[in-house]
């Protein structure tokens, strides 16, 4: 089963939609006005427009092109050109499983999504995209230390075997930084970063700056396909 972290919950407020990628699947992730999450194949059943370009209307997502509305069950429920027509239930998107666990959005394209446990007091820091190979990004992260904003450093503590999860810990073990890695393509890696423990505002800013420094370092390596980069998801 393929479940991947596609973003931080804080970066997808209600009535917003974003694009994500899990394996080969291009995905539209959106949140209705009630906060309900949906993850769909990013292709409108009508003419194929990316649904991530659409807009949320209550508990439906409207396609940008001709405005067809799809409810949270993925079924078309309104066609603006035929307002009195009840759309056939066969007009529906491909729906994937999504959960919000400890502030991280996890999507599965082939079964029920299951996230990873994080330290109970984890707080979101940011998501940052590395425009380089997964190896270059991971090597740069593992080879770095996280400044804690008060002169101390957190060093790499845990690299789960076969997993794209890195954990840094302070010397006293009280503070930690968890990095969840997601590879949307051969030439990019997204790091979703969370901090647990007692962090000041300066400390949180320090983690964010550390991630930018590591990204620049990774993108300077020979694995870099280009130097363009993007910040927040
Ligand atoms: S392509 Fe989406 S409504 Fe036409």
pLDDT over 70 (residue 143): yes
pLDDT of residue 85: 96
Burial status of residue 29 (CB atoms within 10 A of its CB: 0-12, 13-18, 19 or more): buried
Q: Is the dihedral of CA 167, 140, 185, 128 positive or negative?
A: positive
Question: Quick one: which atom of ligand 1 is closest to the CA of 54?
Answer: 2
Co-location of 83 and 129 in the same domain: no
Poorest-pLDDT segment among 36-40, 44-48, 105-109, 200-204: 200-204
Residues across the chain: 233
Residue where one domain finishes, among candidates 81, 108, 135: 108
Task: Tell me: do 65 and 154 sit in the same domain.
Answer: no
Q: Is residue 174 part of a domain?
A: yes
Over residues 49-58, the mean pLDDT reads 98
Number of domains in the chain: 2
Are 89 and 146 in the same domain? no
Same domain, 134 and 56: no
User: Contact, 10 vs 103, CB < 8 A?
Assistant: yes
Task: Report if residue 198 sits inside a domain.
Answer: yes
The band of 18, judged by pLDDT with boundaries at 50, 70 and 90, is very high
Establish if 225 belongs to a structural domain. Answer: no
142 and 188 share one domain: yes
Q: What is the pLDDT of residues 186-221, one digit of tens each?
A: 899 999 999 999 999 989 999 999 999 999 999 998
How does pLDDT run across 62-83, given as a tens digit for each residue? Answer: 999 999 999 999 999 999 999 9
Per-residue model confidence (pLDDT) at position 125: 97
In a shared domain, residues 152 and 97: no
β-strands 104-108, 176-185 pairing: unpaired
CA of 68 to the centre of ligand 1 (A): 6
Residue that terminates a domain, selected from 56, 83, 108: 108
Ligand 1 pocket mutation, candidates 63, 77, 85, 87, criterion most atoms within 8 A of CB:
63
- Give a yes or no: residue 98 inside a domain: yes
Strand order in the sheet with 3-8: 3-8, 104-108, 95-101, 37-41, 25-31, 16-22
Between 2 and 182, residue with greater pLDDT: 182
CATH number at residue 81: 2.102.10.10
pLDDT band of 229, cuts 50, 70, 90? very low
Least confident segment among 76-80, 122-126, 165-169: 165-169
Are 46 and 78 contained in the same domain?
Answer: yes
Same domain, 103 and 127: no
Ligand 1: list residues with CB < 6 Å.
Answer: 44, 46-47, 49, 63, 65-66, 68
Percent pLDDT > 90 in the chain is 75
The domain in which residue 11 lies consists of 3-108
CATH number at residue 129: 3.30.530.20
How much is the average pLDDT of 5-29? 96
pLDDT at 230 over 50: no
Q: In this structure, are 20 and 66 located in the same domain?
A: yes
Q: Do 34 and 9 share a structural domain?
A: yes
Task: Tell me which of 17, 28, 43, 47 to substitute to probe ligand 1's pocket, judged by most ligand atoms within 8 Å of the beta carbon.
Answer: 47
* Dihedral in degrees, nearest 10, Cα atoms 9, 11, 17, 23: -70
Q: Is 231 contained in some domain? A: no
């Amino acid at each position: 089963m393929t479940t991947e972290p596609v973003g931080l919950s804080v970066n997808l407020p209600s009535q917003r939609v974003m694009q994500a990628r899990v394996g080969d699947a291009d995905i539209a992730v959106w949140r209705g006005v009630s906060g309900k999450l949906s993850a769909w194949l990013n292709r409108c059943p009508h003419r194929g427009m990316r649904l991530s370009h659409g807009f949320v209307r209550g508990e439906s997502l409207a396609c940008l092109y001709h405005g067809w509305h799809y409810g949270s069950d993925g079924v078309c429920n309104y066609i603006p050109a035929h307002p009195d027509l009840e759309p056939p239930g066969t007009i529906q998107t491909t729906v994937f499983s999504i959960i919000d666990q400890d502030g991280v959005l996890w999507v599965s394209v082939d079964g029920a999504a299951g996230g990873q446990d994080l330290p109970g007091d984890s707080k979101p820091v940011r998501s940052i995209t590395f425009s380089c190979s997964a190896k270059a990004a991971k090597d740069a992260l593992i080879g770095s230390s996280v400044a804690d904003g008060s002169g101390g450093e957190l060093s790499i503590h845990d690299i789960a075997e076969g997993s794209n999860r890195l954990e840094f810990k302070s010397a006293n073990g009280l503070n930690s930084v968890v990095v969840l890695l997601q590879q949307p393509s051969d030439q990019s890696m997204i790091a979703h970063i969370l901090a647990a423990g007692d962090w000041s505002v300066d400390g949180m800013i320090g983690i964010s700056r550390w991630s930018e420094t590591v990204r620049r370092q990774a993108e300077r390596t020979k694995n870099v396909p280009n130097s363009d980069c993007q910040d927040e998801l």
